[in-house]
Structure 1
Amino acid sequence: MTMQESARPGSPWLMRGERRPDVRLALYCLPHAGGGASAYRDWARSLPAWIDVIAVQLPGRENRIREPLGIDLDAMAEAVDADHQGVPYALFGHSNGALLAFELAHRLSATGAGPVHLSVSGSPPPALATPNRAVSRFDEAGLLDWMVEQGGISQQLLALPDLLELVIPAVRCDLSWLEAYRPAVRPALSCPVSAFAGETDPRVPGDVLTGWSRETTAGFTARRYPGGHFYLIDELPVLLGDLAEQLSDLRL
């Protein structure tokens, strides 16, 4: 599947492949720090045909490269709200995207048309999410070292300085948002929440992952997979199988 810009006008935030018949659920996916919609380009191949996979594209990357970098949660929420057109929808986010998905869930729930499910991956719960160091202010060498440690950058990318010039500002932008993030005090979500992480992810050690259970009044599940922060690169088929099963259990 090649993701294309949503056919609906005014939705540069959303990227999807060909629309599927008999869709029962829309799944909106939020990228990790510095990432773009292409991180989810292969998901539709492994998920059931009744799930419509839509990736959220932040400004300043991929097809929106000419736009200023930034995170506008209100604009994202408006795009999702206008797009699903009454079809039940779920949210998924990895790493930085997990917190974006969480914030979207609250904004959309406040309108009365919230998600039926939230999946968060590779992130501590909101109360523990703010980093204890300002990685966004590292010099380029330090930031690259940090990205390599996280597993979010390949040796092939390190050998492409022109591409790095595009990726590094996006990473700094997203990390700056994370470093300034403070969750608001508000009621827990009323939709089920699933939390996923790698077994050796240093961002989500020990039982930290289960802290997400406090963010919902509905069902909660947590699962770890072999690997570190970017466990889903190697464990994607298993993760998507688990996700499809959980979404199927909603009995839409």
Structure 2
Amino acid sequence: MTVPDVRTRWFRGVRAPGAKVRLVCFPHAGGAAVSYHAWATLTPPEIEVVSVQYPGRQDRLRDPCPATLEELADAITAALRVELPNDLPLAFFGHSMGSSVAYEVARRLRDVPGRTLTHLVVSGRPRPRLPQEKAPRPVPTDTEILDRVRLLDPEGAAVYEHPDLRPMIMPALRADFGLLAAYRPTHLHRLEVPVTACGGDRDPVCPVEALSSWSDVTTEGLEVRAFPGNHFYLNSRKEELLAFLTSRLL
């Protein structure tokens, strides 16, 4: 009997009968659920991999992008309650912008009965900054956004130069960068789950030492792990990263 894959409004994934934990993955700015598609084939059957599909991209191109990162986190938390079965404990993995989104969903999940989060894994981003630490910024221009993308992902940035694709994919990237520019939580919430912070040892915007800032959001300890690579080390070091995550989740 074939088990249907996960395909809801907000989530995409591959069912893993007999899994012990469901790993929910949160994409980077401009990213989509497909970023984690290959993870299901590289993790043991005890881990079911599900990724979030943000609005405004791919098959959700016509869905409006949220106005704030908090609004996005509210919507994902609500979707977790109604679109995924309550049959497995959860772990979160977020990369870059996805780290902040995963953290916001994690703190909201504490108020959702019956949903158990066991681990938060963040990647390529320091913990959220408070208003007194870093003031909100103006929404960057398209030129500034694309300069940033070229810095973080020189290979992936080429898609934004394609004249036919750019009008379709630029709105989501622009919206995501707008969320990040405005996102400044008023205070930090300490999660009662362990946090693991991963990053590339040559990341130009999130040096390894910045990952230790995530110790401020957990009562259960922080582990920092660096991998060879730049901001998108998780693409070139996918197998190594997933072997490490497996050792921490099972």
**TM value normalised by structure 2:** 0.87
Cα distance in 2 for residues equivalent to 1:93 and 1:163: 26
Residue identity in the other structure for 2:92: L
Cα distance in 2 for residues equivalent to 1:66 and 1:119: 30
Is the deviation greater in 203-212 or in 224-233? 203-212
- 1:1-252 equivalent positions in 2, closer than 5 A: 6=6, 11-17=8-14, 19-70=15-66, 72-82=72-82, 83-112=84-113, 113-127=115-129, 134=137, 136-138=139-141, 140-151=142-153, 154=156, 156-205=158-207, 207-248=209-250
| Cα offset, 1:150, TM superposition | 1.1
| Cα offset, 1:174, TM superposition | 0.8
Alpha carbons of structure 1 residues 119 and 20: separation in structure 2 relative to 1, 3 Å: same
**1:164-189 CA deviation, whole Å, 9 max, x = no partner?**
22222111111111111112425410
Residue identity in the other structure for 1:244: T
| Cα offset, 1:116, TM superposition | 0.7
Q: Which runs of 5+ in 1 are unaligned?
A: none
Alpha carbons of structure 1 residues 84 and 210: separation in structure 2 relative to 1, 3 Å: farther
Cα distance in 1 for residues equivalent to 2:140 and 2:159: 21
Residue identity in the other structure for 1:137: P
**1:104-162 CA deviation, whole Å, 9 max, x = no partner?**
00000122434110000000111279877858432x34432221111165365145222
Residue identity in the other structure for 1:185: H
Task: State the Cα RMSD in Å.
Answer: 2.3
Alpha carbons of structure 1 residues 141 and 181: separation in structure 2 relative to 1, 3 Å: closer
Residue identity in the other structure for 2:59: N
| Cα offset, 1:229, TM superposition | 1.0
Cα distance in 2 for residues equivalent to 1:215 and 1:147: 28
- Ranges of 4+ aligned residues in structure 1 off by more than 3 Å: 4-7, 128-136
Q: What is the DSSP-based 3-state SS (H/G/I as helix, E as strand, rest coil) of the residue aligned with 2:168?
A: helix
Check whether the contact 2:149–2:157 (CA below 8 A) recurs between aligned residues. no
Is the deviation greater in 74-83 or in 229-238? 74-83
**1:52-91 CA deviation, whole Å, 9 max, x = no partner?**
1111001111111121222522120011233141410111
Alpha carbons of structure 1 residues 131 and 149: separation in structure 2 relative to 1, 3 Å: farther
Aligned length, in residue pairs: 240
